[in-house]
Structures are given as C-alpha cells and as structure tokens.
Structure 1
Amino acid sequence: MRYFVQFSYFGKAYHGWQNQPNAITVQEVLEKAFSTLLREKVEVVGAGRTDAGVHAREMYCHFNVDGIPDVDDLVYRLNAFLPDDIAVQGIYPVAHDAHARFDATERTYEYWIVKEKDPFLFDHAHFVKHALDLEAMNQAAQILLDYTDFECFSKSNTDVKTFNCDVRQAVWAIQGEKLVFTISADRFLRNMVRAVVGTLLDVGMGKMPVQDIHKVIASKDRGEAGVSVPAKGLYLTKVSYPKEIFDEQKG
C-alpha cells in the first residue's frame, strides 16, 4: 500500500530535505525512523526539495509498505522516536499511483523579516535594519504574476528542463513584529524564493526601481537579480493536492 505522510520540521540542523552522502538531511532521519519502527527498509519520496536551513510547516512524502495495522499508533511512536525538530501530523492511505511530488498542484512559501533585533526570532527570521518601502515591494511583487520564465532567480548550473513557473500569489504583509512575504506557485526553482526576496528587498531599500523587475526577469541572468537572503527566514507552509488523492480518512 502507498501512504502519504504530512509532517513539519525546523531546518536549522539539516542540510535540506534530500539525502546526501556526507550530511544529515530530513529525508534520512525520516527514513531511519520509519525503517526502525516498521522493521523493514522504507524509502520516502518528498513533495520537493528544501535547501539547507530552510523550514517546512507543512510537507508531504509518500512511501510503500504492505500495510499499517494502526496508523494513529505509528504516528504516536514516530513523534516519540523523531528528534524534537521534526514532527509527523498524519499518515494517510492513498491510491497506489499517487505521487507526493508530481501530484502536488501548488506550493506556498513564506519568508519572515524582522526590523528590530530579536533574540527569540534570530533563528526564525532575517533581520533587516534598513527602512523598507512596503508599497513599492508589493508593486514589484505583483509584476511576478505577469511572467512564467524565472531563470533569473534560479540557482546557477541547475539541471531543470524548464524555468517556467505559474506564480499565483506574491504579497508582502505586516504580521505583528514580522514582515512576511507569501508566494504561491505550481512549482519553484532551486533558490528561487530567496532570490526573489533579495530582489524585492533591493526595491524596498531604493536600490532598484519597481519597473526594473521587468528588466531583471527578461535578462534571464541570475547576476541581474538581488542576492539570496538567508535560509533561516524561509518556510514551506502549504502543499496542495487534488482531493481525490486522499482516502476518506483525510477528510
């Protein structure tokens, strides 16, 4: 049977999601936990990659086993076994061909910024001391919705077949002591959100006019965009799937 797993993690201690030969990753820790508790080798396939230090408030993966007699008990035992910075919210039976990565229809990220030094948010948000023009940043963010080719925001030497992404939401908002950027799309390129945020911050600090976003995107040149902001402020917050993928237990 195939199961989807909903989980979350705080990424500071990990070199991203995907298994690497000489670095600890979230995928490795999850596979070890499942394999230990189910007493068989379990390999999980994630909804996507997150880079080193990036967090996920909602993430999914899938795996195959013969069957799980008591799903709720397994969730309980997983959370007792896993380190404190990884938590499983649920395990759901799905169709045998359901795929955590390829069946995802939309992903949403948030990037957190604080304007004052806060020791309680040091590992959770990026500190920016400069004054920011929020209106200009939102005007620039809306320009993203007019384009599909985002090669200028992609990590160099990546092996993707296309740089096209359908960006459906891109907005800045003040949430308490934080300034939060929310962006949703069908897919994202490696390092894309952090590069987008760095570019929009250049607009907010007056280093780049709003309309220059058009030129940056048209250039398809990573060197024309802003610097990548630190990973610690980035959160994957939602992964969406067609309703029919999930068993009725998911609701």
Structure 2
Amino acid sequence: MRKFFLTVAYKGTAYHGWQKQPNAVSVQEKIETSLSTLLQTETAILGSGRTDTGVHATAQVFQLELPNDIDISQIVYRLNKLLPHDIAVSDYKEVNEDTHARFDAVSRSYEYHINTKKNAFTQDLSYYFTHSLDVPLMNEAAESMKAFTDFESFSKVKTDVNTFNCEIFEAIWKPHNELLVFHVSANRFLRGMVRTIVGTLLEVGLHNLTVEGFKNIIESKDRKAAGRSVPAHGLFLTSVKYPQKIYKAD
C-alpha cells in the first residue's frame, strides 16, 4: 500500500461541514462514496481537521491509502469526474507510511471574507457588512494575539479538547477591492475560534471595544466576554502545511 495526501477545494454551502456524520451530507462522505465507487471497495479517508457547516476550503488536505498497482493520477482524474461541481481535488503527493494528515500538520491558515458592497455573485462566499470599520485598530488588536497562548475565550463552550493553547503566527486584515479579508495562521485552532475572533475584532473596528478590552477578553478565558460568532459562509480554510520530511522523493 502507498499513502497519499490529496488537496481538495470545496464550497461548503450545501454541506454539514467536512466530517462524515449520520443523517447529514458532508464533504468527506461525498469523497468516500466516489472513491468507493471507483475502487469497488469501501474506502475511508482522513482529513487534516474539521470545517463547520457552511464553511469553505480552498486547500483542505486528506490522506488516502491505495494498493501499489493503482495509478494515483488516474484516480484523481476519475474522482473529479464523479464528485459534484462544488468539490474539486487539485493536487496529490505521496507521503511516508507513518504520516498522519491531522497530527503532522504544523500550521493551518484561514481567511474570513467581508464584502463592503452588495454583490449578487458572492452572497454565499462573503459576509455582507456595511458598517464603517477602523481597520488599523482592528489590526492592532489582531497583532496583540501573538502574545497570548490560551484562547479559551474564543472557543465553543462544549468541546472535548485537552488544551486551549494555540500559537498564532499571523493575524491581519487586508483590503482586496470590495473585500476586507482577515488572514490568520496558527499551529492549531479551536472549534469556532476564527469566527469568534472575527466577531470580536469587528467590535474593535466599530469602536465598541478598545484594544486593551480585546486583550482583557483573551485573559478572561470566558467565551461570554467575547463577541458573537460571525456567519460561516465568509470563512475559508486556505492552507495546511506539513514538514518537508513527510513527503516521499519523486
């Protein structure tokens, strides 16, 4: 058997997130069903992590094991033929046998898209928000997160994690024409973390919360102190990175 990491993009609008679950349509389920049809045997995959209902991805990663005599390039070509229009596999790399798509990731990156003008074509792909925002102040608050490690204040309350510690590498708002995009990268993220960070930073941008107040929320470790969770449809998983040593030489 050979193990591969495949990169997949999907529009999450029609799905109850990445992870397979009973009585709900997920991205993982669609991929596994298509692979099982192609390979004529029950086939399971493992993703780098969850995305919630309605969240999108431009570069989710999942692992797949295949018999040695199967051509991965043909599998990817035929898989894309079977998958629905809103799921597309874009790349694949062979990895070492003991590599794990979730546990070996060293960083993950997300973007949150806010549309400042109504757009008929991006209503499922960005959050339409018309209030004026103080972006430099939001960036000052976002930058301050790098000094913290415990982000319990931004986590969903009912979660089974052993630690709320995360290391944030990047957190910055950047304008892209009519879009205002929040870029954030970390070694790991808690459930609901990015959407709650964005909701709280919007309060800073509206001058309803100071930068010091933002820091105090983090220090409080209290989800009730943080802002609301913004809608899922503005969020994209954009990158999952791994150490180079996991990849097999071409």
After TM superposition, the score normalised by the length of structure 2 is 0.97
Structure 1 stretch displaced more, 119-128 or 183-192? 119-128
- Tell me what 1:104 maps to: 105
Residue 113 (str. 1) matches residue 101 (str. 2): no
Distance 2:53 2:200 in 1: 21
Any runs of at least 4 consecutive aligned residues in structure 1 with deviations exceeding 3 A, and if so which?
none
- Tell me what 1:66 maps to: 67
- 2:214 partner amino acid: I
Structure 2 unmatched runs, 5+? none
- 2:188 partner amino acid: R
- 2:23 partner amino acid: N
Alignment of 1:1-251 (within 5 A): 1-249=2-250
**Seq. identity, %:** 49
Distance 2:171 2:165 in 1: 16
Residue 116 of structure 1: SS of its match in structure 2? coil
Distance 1:132 1:87 in 2: 35
- 1:211 partner amino acid: E
Cα deviation 1:31-68 (Å, max 9, x = unaligned): 11111101111111100100000000001111223235
Structure 1 unmatched runs, 5+? none
Residue 211 of structure 2: SS of its match in structure 1? coil
Distance 1:48 1:125 in 2: 22
Cα deviation 1:122-175 (Å, max 9, x = unaligned): 111001111100011001101111100000000011010000000010000101
Count how many residue pairs are aligned between Structure 1 and Structure 2.
Answer: 249
Distance 2:74 2:194 in 1: 37
- 1:47 partner amino acid: S
After TM superposition, the score normalised by the length of structure 1 is 0.97
Distance 1:109 1:230 in 2: 14
Distance 1:90 1:175 in 2: 26
Distance 1:49 1:67 in 2: 29
Residue 8 of structure 2: SS of its match in structure 1? strand
1:92 Cα deviation after fit: 2.4
Residue 63 of structure 2: SS of its match in structure 1? strand
1:108 Cα deviation after fit: 0.4
CA gap 1:84/1:68 in 2 versus in 1, 3 angstroms: farther
- 1:186 partner amino acid: N
Residue 164 of structure 1: SS of its match in structure 2? coil
- 1:87 partner amino acid: A
- 1:219 partner amino acid: S
RMSD, aligned α-carbons = 1.0
1:117 Cα deviation after fit: 1.2
Residue 61 of structure 2: SS of its match in structure 1? strand
- 2:89 partner amino acid: V
Residue 98 of structure 1: SS of its match in structure 2? coil
- 1:89 partner amino acid: S
